[in-house]
Amino acid sequence: MMLWNTTRKVVTWWVVTFVTGDDWTVAAAVGAGLLATWGLLRAGVPAWWLLPPVVLAATVSSLYRAVLRERG
Amino acid sequence: MNTTVLVSTFLAASIEVIEMVAIVVAVGATRQWRAALAGTLGGLVVLAVLIAALGTALQRVPLSPIRVVVGALLLTFGLQWVRKGVRSVSRDGWTTGIGEQQVEEDVGDGFDWTGFLLAFRGVSLEGLEVAVIVVAFGAADNAIAAAAIGAVASVLVVGALGAASYRLVARIPRRALQLFVGALLTTFGTFWANEGLGADWPGGDLALVWLGAFYVAAALALVRVVSYWRRGTPRRLRAEQPLTEGASR
């Protein structure tokens, strides 16, 4: 039980610290961007350009929501 | 001694070592040097064990899935710093955090495991790539020793440059540094993840330069945009407040 609790705490810390942070939607957008890049590459499309705009759009959207939250 | 192999390995390894040192210096400057150096040591130990265990079989280690995982994690973590950096710089200005002030609230006096893992991943992935370069260049001409000397020289030279840049990096206000380091981690993350998926960057490793410039420019633009959104808030509230107050009276 103690081992399970410790493992759960470590995994939660790791996921929150390295993956989701304060906004899980950015991590989800990055995941979707990677998946789409992989799909396009498999279809023979040189999709190196896809990830940067996806990352930028997710960041802009996250910052906008953060400002809205600050407004209350 | 095969000089051609030595010089070729030195140059090829230097590209990977620059990435490795950039991550270690960035993590050390923004989080905790103790953790960054421990992560570096940990990465080097794992690498030494892998080299000792696999030898020339290192060439068969599948680097692509490792690049995707490490790249995606660096990307999501780097973006957290970009967002935090943009928010704090747009709120408090560029000069906040000069000196020893910490930018990360969760870095206390204890050991910083986040910084450790960031440095560990950067060093182990890049170190693995250096090891593969050594094996590939060395085995091709039967000159593993010359290739190894070239790689070690590259680590020493670039590492010394990284150590020398510490004081320069320490002068940058911490909040601004967080923003730029976030952009740097995002750059490496995007590059590695895409490379791991099999995408060919135009210009090869040089794409890191324009990709980094793109993310830094985007972060700087976002600082202005978020400041604008913020400035809009009190004005709008000021405009709305008298009406509300008037209505309540």
User: CA B3: distance to chain centroid?
Assistant: 32
Per-residue pLDDT band for A55 (boundaries 50, 70, 90) equals very high
For the segment B162-170, the average pLDDT, to the nearest whole number, is: 80
User: CA B1: distance to chain centroid?
Assistant: 35
**Domain residue limits, chain A:** 21-71
**Domain residue limits, chain B:** 3-248
Rounded Cα–Cα distance for residues B207 and B240 (Å): 48
Phi–psi pair at B99, nearest 5 degrees: 90, -140
pLDDT of residue A11: 86
CB < 8 Å from A in window 106-145 of B: 114, 117
pLDDT of residue A63: 95
For the segment B215-236, the average pLDDT, to the nearest whole number, is: 85
Question: Cβ of B27 under 8 Å from any chain A Cβ?
Answer: no
Question: Cβ of B5 under 8 Å from any chain A Cβ?
Answer: no
From chain B, the residues in CB contact with A46 under 8 A are 199-200
Assess whether pLDDT exceeds 90 at residue A46.
Answer: yes
Rounded Cα–Cα distance for residues A62 and B204 (Å): 31
Task: Give the model confidence (pLDDT) of A11-20 as tens digits.
Answer: 888 888 788 8
pLDDT of residue B243: 43
Share of chain A above pLDDT 90, in %: 61
For the segment B60-81, the average pLDDT, to the nearest whole number, is: 87
Task: Give the model confidence (pLDDT) of B112-165 as tens digits.
Answer: 888 899 899 889 888 888 888 888 777 766 678 888 898 889 989 998 988 888
Distance between terminal CA atoms of chain A?
40
pLDDT of residue B245: 42
Rounded Cα–Cα distance for residues B12 and A44 (Å): 29
How close B131 comes to chain A (CA, Å)? 26
Find out whether B103 and B178 touch, Cβ atoms under 8 Å: yes
> Which of A20, A63, A56 has the alpha carbon at shortest distance from B89?
A63
Question: Cβ of A57 under 8 Å from any chain B Cβ?
Answer: no
The model's pTM is: 0.77
Question: Cβ of A47 under 8 Å from any chain B Cβ?
Answer: yes
pLDDT of residue B246: 40
Average pLDDT, chain B: 82
Which ipTM score applies to this complex? Answer: 0.91
